[in-house]
Structures are given as C-alpha cells and as structure tokens.
Structure 1
Amino acid sequence: MTTATLTTKGQITIPKDIRQHLLLQTGDKVDFTLTKSGEVLLKPVTRRVDEVFGRLGKRKQKALTPEEMDAAIRKRLAERKA
C-alpha cells in the first residue's frame, strides 16, 4: 500500500508510482470523490486533446493514405469471410 503524509496546510504529495500510473504532470488537476462507503477516489481531470498533444511520442511508421486504409479494410473483410 502506498501512503502519503498530510501537512499542517492540508496538503499531500501524490507518490511517484501513483503519478506515473495516472500520467500526471506538474500543473495537472485531479478530482477527489467521496464514496458512500467513506473511501476517496482520486481521478485525473479530463483534458482537451491540444493539452496532451505530443505525449505519445513520434510515429514509428508513416501515416496511411485514405486509399491505403480502404484497401486494408477490404483485405480484412475478405479474410473474415474466408
């Protein structure tokens, strides 16, 4: 179990393994939800696409053209019918 200590100002530091799992970065917002059973859920606040652009890194292969995508779909459908 991962624990954190509450400061006199009511602050905690989210442990590194939890931050990494939730992909949290400096300045990110989190939501705390109190459940009926008394547990607290911590969830990252959903962000717009332009705020997370570039986090996945560079593509390893070139993007397909619409024609190449259509051909791949036709091929997959033909394989399923066979």
Structure 2
Amino acid sequence: MTTVTLTSKGQLTIPRQLREALGLATGARLQASIDGQGRLVLVPAKYEPEELFRHRPPVQRAMGLADMDRAIAAAAGREDP
C-alpha cells in the first residue's frame, strides 16, 4: 500500500506508479466518494456529463405547456375541452 500526504491546500499527490497503473495523465479527473467503512475511494472518471450529450441534436420544443397539459389529461382519461 502506498501512502500519500495531504497538503495545507487540501491537495494529494498520487505517486507515479499508481498514476501509470491507472493511466492517469495531467488534467485527469477522479470521482471521489467515501465507502461504508469510512475510506476515501478515488476512481478515474471515464466521462464528463457534458461529454455524454455533446453530439445530441438540440431539443426542439414541439409543444407548449398547455399542449402538454392537454396530452397528459387525455392520456389519463379526463380530456379537457
């Protein structure tokens, strides 16, 4: 097991052997959590949320709120006039 030190700025330096084993390079992002035993868990973040939707076409609003309300009412069986 490797020991890391927390700096006065709250930063950790991940030793080279661990960075290389995980394929981490400068600017890599990690997801951090605390497990059930109170341990800090760092996992390489594979995707940024905005990357997942980068190639999605822009949303075109085909209905207004009143149209949506009517569609919901109709689907629920209580169609508004």
Instruction: Report the TM-score, using the length of structure 2 for normalisation.
Output: 0.54
Q: Over aligned residues, Cα RMSD in angstroms?
A: 1.4
Which 4+ stretches in 1 moved above 6 angstroms? none
Q: What is the CA–CA distance in structure 2 between the aligned matches of 1:6 and 1:39, rounded to whole Å?
A: 15
Aligned pairs for 1:1-82 (under 5 A) are 1-47=1-47
Answer 1 or 2: which has greater helix percent: 1
Deviation at 1:16, TM superposition (A): 0.7
Deviation at 1:13, TM superposition (A): 0.4
Deviation at 1:5, TM superposition (A): 1.1
Code of the residue aligned with 1:28 in structure 2: it is A
Gaps of 5+ in 1: 49-82
Q: Percent identity?
A: 42
Gaps of 5+ in 2: 49-81
Q: What is the CA–CA distance in structure 2 between the aligned matches of 1:44 and 1:3, rounded to whole Å?
A: 18
